[in-house]
A and B are shown apart, each in its own frame.
Chain A
């Protein structure tokens, strides 16, 4: 590292050392050191033991459910979130402000409340479940229930990332395109969609990441059958309850690594999709 030049102006504002020191100490004690402990704990196991634990059939089934259901829920939220954001920004309708405010409900509502409510609604005799029963669709206590809960949890993300971008779009560009004879669908494809694509991806990523770790809402509605509707976070909890600390740490490490890799991948994708790159 190069030495700082002498002529650099002195810092006028005070408190740099104090605030940075406090921030680092706090973050270290609360977040980083405890997280590092989980990794150290998993390294108590030798490689073969570790591999046997994290690739046990029941554990593999839980990854499939967790990541699969999270992906489906995030995709549902991307599609419908875009429509909700579009409607909220562009169309006038009564009760719009109230509905706009309520979109954030899943952020504010405790996940346990969401869990018991969705279970009651989507059970065979529930308000919504009773209409699905004649169609032979079971939601509560099946993997489909997991998707429903994760959709609820991730609902605000896409709406809230896309909404401000749609608000800031200049109407002039669309007008110009329209007066040059572009049809509405072409304008959406060529002008609007490229502008909101990064925001859509961000919203998708956030919803996906949130869904992977979700526990509270899912355990009520999933039924928690091993190999069928058991999510990975629940598996960690049940290992802990059997005092299998090393096993719990091993599965947790796999989850952490997988979700970091996914986030990294999606971040790269996002950089690549940004308009005007290169």
Chain B
């Protein structure tokens, strides 16, 4: 980026370091056409379909009691999954980035594992564990504990699919930053906690926030894993994405897209926050590496 924007204007005779004008126009056209077909048109369509039957239908759909229950459950499962994965992300990044131990690269691979596993399989493994015919099913049944087709299962499935997000943002960032600053603070007499709060946390804050945003977006939008463990009980075990599916399958298209538009707005807000944070996080990483910001 840097190299290019500087060179372009000051070059006397444009030799072959850029493409002929027609090639540039062609590539730009192809890129924009592709993005339009797969991104921009779908994005516009969500809102068009949501408002097609009028604002009244839209408002009725999103203030429907079942929709509100679904929103509540979506927020609840994100509110449990994100802090737990945040705690895990910080702990894992601290151990991996600040210490040497055997099996470290294996641990990093294992953290990424949920990305390689189909969401359906993520749901399946909890059904195999806690379901009526699962390993712990009979015991849970005796004690009147319901995990599958109930809220705990939804929360567990959400946690599973979002495990890597925060850890994998923090690990490279903390590895790049090394341990010198923390060691200095400790030598000067600060306690471990104080060092973490005053030195480490400010250094990683943007990367951390970035991970939290990604994790939240996925937690609220997860469909496959949650769908397998939920049982689709309206008002009880329906998250907003599952509610969208039910409405759509009942041919209530306007209502389905109304609820979908809420999730889309959420996604767009996440993208804005993400873009803002990313700029700062890059600066943070560059400063750490001693490059100019």
Residues of A within 8 A of B (CB): 1, 11-16, 18-20, 22-24, 26-27, 30-32, 34-35, 37-38, 41, 80, 83-84, 86-91, 93, 99, 101-114, 116-118, 120-121, 127-128, 148, 151-152, 155, 167, 169-172, 174-175, 178-179, 182-184, 187, 209-210, 212-216, 220, 233-234, 236-237, 240, 243, 245, 248-249, 252, 255-256, 259-260, 263
Cα distance A170–B1 in the bound complex, in angstroms: 9
Closest to A248 in B: B124
Please, how many angstroms separate the alpha-carbon atoms of A129 and B24 in the complex? 29
Query: Smallest CB–CB gap between B138 and chain A, Å?
Result: 14
Evaluate contact between A20 and B125: CB separation under 8 angstroms. no
How many residues of B sit at the interface, in one of the four size bands? 35 or more
Going nearest first, the 10 A-B pairs with the smallest beta carbon separation are A213-B118, A110-B221, A216-B223, A215-B224, A108-B267, A14-B192, A233-B120, A34-B125, A20-B95, A23-B92
CB-based contact A26/B223 at 8 Å: no
- The answer to whether B125 touches A35, judged by C-beta atoms less than 8 angstroms apart, is yes
Closest CB in chain A relative to B275 CB, distance in Å: 5
Bound-state Cα–Cα, A3 to B221, Å:
49
Q: Are B17 and A171 in contact (CB under 8 A)?
A: yes
Q: What chain A residues lie within 8 Å of B3 (beta carbons)?
A: 169-172
- Which residues of B does A touch, CB under 8 Å? 1, 3-4, 7, 15-20, 23-24, 27-28, 30-32, 34-35, 37-43, 45-46, 49, 84, 87-88, 90-92, 94-95, 98-99, 101-102, 107, 110-111, 113-121, 124-129, 131, 133-135, 156, 159-160, 163, 179, 182-183, 186-187, 192, 196, 214, 217, 220-224, 227-228, 240-242, 244-245, 248, 253, 256-257, 260, 263-264, 267-268, 270-272, 274-275
Question: Which residues of chain A come closer than 8 Å to B98, judged between CB atoms?
Answer: 13, 16
What is the distance, in angstroms, from A224's C-beta to the closest C-beta of chain B?
Answer: 12
Known A37-B129, A120-B45, A216-B241; contact A178-B17, beta-carbon cutoff 8 A: yes
Name the A residues within 8 Å of B92 (CB-CB).
Answer: 19, 23, 27
A233 CA to B20 CA, complexed, in Å: 46
Q: Is the CB of B224 within 8 A of A30?
A: no
Given the contacts A109-B264, A220-B248, A80 and B125 also touching, CB distance less than 8 Å: no
Determine the residue in chain B with the shortest Cβ distance to A218. Answer: B224
Question: What are 29 inter-chain pairs, A to B, with CB distance below 8 A?
Answer: A12-B179, A15-B95, A22-B87, A27-B88, A27-B110, A80-B30, A84-B34, A86-B27, A88-B31, A93-B28, A101-B272, A101-B274, A108-B270, A110-B222, A110-B240, A113-B263, A127-B41, A172-B3, A182-B16, A183-B16, A184-B20, A209-B116, A215-B120, A216-B119, A233-B119, A234-B120, A236-B121, A237-B227, A252-B121
